[in-house]
Chains A and B, each alone.
Chain A
Amino acid sequence: MTSSTSTPSLNEDETRSKVYAIVGAMAPAGDAALADDTALIADLAYDSLRLIELTLALEEGFGLGELAQERTATVTTLGDIVRLVTEARREAEARRDTDARRETEARRAETGR
């Protein structure tokens, strides 16, 4: 079993459906059809302010921490968001793993005293 399948939180299909749900619910053009190549601005009528609010929703909804502007600036389609969120979730997961390991090590060091 690879590490990505052992952690259900990193499942890409699940990420995709949740991204679709959030992007669709926040879209100014609310009843548009959604696909990976759907353009946020041209198809869903997002403007610069609504895109900022979407970033906040993705951060909050996926527990990602702050998404840097350089990373969100290149996003134009739903598929781009799925990729960005998948990546950011892996990083967040890795951070949590590292933190957990550090904690265990710290605890071990304490009990070893």
Chain B
Amino acid sequence: MTERLRILVTGGAGLVGAEVTARLVAAGHQVTALVHHQPVVIRNDGTPLEPDAVTCLPGDVTKPRLGLPEAAYRALAAGGLDRIVHCAAITDFGLPDEVYQAVNVDGTAHVLELARAGGVPLVHVGTAYVCGERDGLIRETELDEGQRLANAYEDSKFRAETLVHKAQADGVRAAIVRPSIVVGDERTGVVRDYKNIYVVLKLATEGKVRSIPGQYEARLDLVPVDYVADIITEVTHRFEEAAGRTFHAVGAPLTLRDFSDVMAEYPPFHVPRFVPPTSFDAQRLPRRERAYYERVMTLYESYFRRRTRFDDSHTAGLATRRPPADGQDFLRTLIDHCLETGYLGAPAADATEVLARLNISAPDTTPTANGTGPTASDGNGAGR
């Protein structure tokens, strides 16, 4: 790579954005990372990027002009950029609809405005799950197939990608990369944030959720964060070949049976039972399990029914690196890392245990609580 490009990476401090930023910096490009809350770029393994290697620009994709001062925005739009890599997005589930609209949809619209104003090639990071609840083989050439979208996240990413397509029709040059479920590093399993699938793994292996409505034949696609960053970087470099096309950055698909089998190899783990959705009744669950089911599992439920498979022939044709060949081996690497860090395998004391330790019993006998309360609170004060 001889040409030194001026590249704006939105969401530059995020899990994928930070890894993309690091790769583009290492390749010798002049990278500006648009950051929101966090003013530094910290890589997935926890190492911060040298402050003089990258320019961190505080901004906000939900605002017009990306929340930048007018002069700074104008400088970017007036020939100051060779590429935009749009990584900024909300990927957590269960947030209010407005949040997805503001960040994922409006954010993409604002980025497209900049791309249009400056005639800057755009690499848009979407998600493979814009396919919604479609079953079977999903191709990179497909977007709107009349599918049902399972949640506000998928819906927002679908609409964002639709905006990119419309802008392409108006002359904006863009390529789209669609990762599946982004998880830890392929070789080490290291991941900076434990979100989404990790939370489900934790609840299941700790036995907090013992039965899950789903099908053993359903498939989840986990993709290593370093692989996703490699594909985005490659598409950014070879934009002339990539322009107008979509690339699935997907990993090895795992059936829920594959998940169960791997979990069963770890002696301390509970293994959940997947029950046919039609015979599952949340009201029959014990209070504790029902709380976790209602507040967490319902967010992911539709993924335990889908038999999705992603075709990635565009990516295979462009990139040299291929995803993990063996999904179960990769899952073991991810779990091993979680065990090393203590995220899995060492559950914290639950509510009943903590109350027993504090000597707090049934509430109907109120006067005794007057004695235990202040004492226990002094105990906390001692740690100050």
- Size bracket of the A interface: 35 or more
Interface SS of chain B:
helix
Among B199, B203, B354, contact of A25 (Cβ-Cβ < 8 Å): B354
Do B374 and A17 touch (CB < 8 A)? yes
Among A8, A28, A60, contact of B351 (Cβ-Cβ < 8 Å): A60
Do A61 and B295 touch (CB < 8 A)? no
| A66–B296 alpha-carbon span in the complex (Å) | 16
Q: Judge whether B171 is part of the interface by a CB distance below 8 angstroms.
A: no
Q: Which residue of B lies closest to A20 (CB)?
A: B377
- Size bracket of the B interface: 35 or more
**With contacts A8-B367, A32-B383 known, is A60 near B355, CB below 8 A?**
yes
* Residues of the B chain whose Cβ atoms lie less than 8 Å from the Cβ of A25: 354, 357-358, 376, 380
Do A21 and B292 touch (CB < 8 A)? no
**B366-384 at interface with A (beta carbon < 8 Å):** 366-367, 369-370, 372-374, 376-377, 379-381, 383-384
* Residues of the B chain whose Cβ atoms lie less than 8 Å from the Cβ of A9: 363, 366
15 interchain pairs (CB within 8 A)? A8-B367, A16-B373, A20-B373, A20-B380, A21-B376, A25-B358, A25-B376, A26-B354, A28-B348, A48-B296, A49-B203, A53-B351, A57-B355, A63-B362, A63-B363
Additional pairs, 8, CB under 8 Å, beyond known A20-B380, A56-B287? A8-B366, A9-B363, A11-B370, A26-B354, A28-B348, A52-B292, A60-B352, A60-B355
Residue numbers of B with Cβ under 8 A of A are 199, 202-203, 287-288, 291-292, 294-296, 348-352, 354-355, 357-358, 360, 362-364, 366-367, 369-370, 372-374, 376-377, 379-381, 383-384
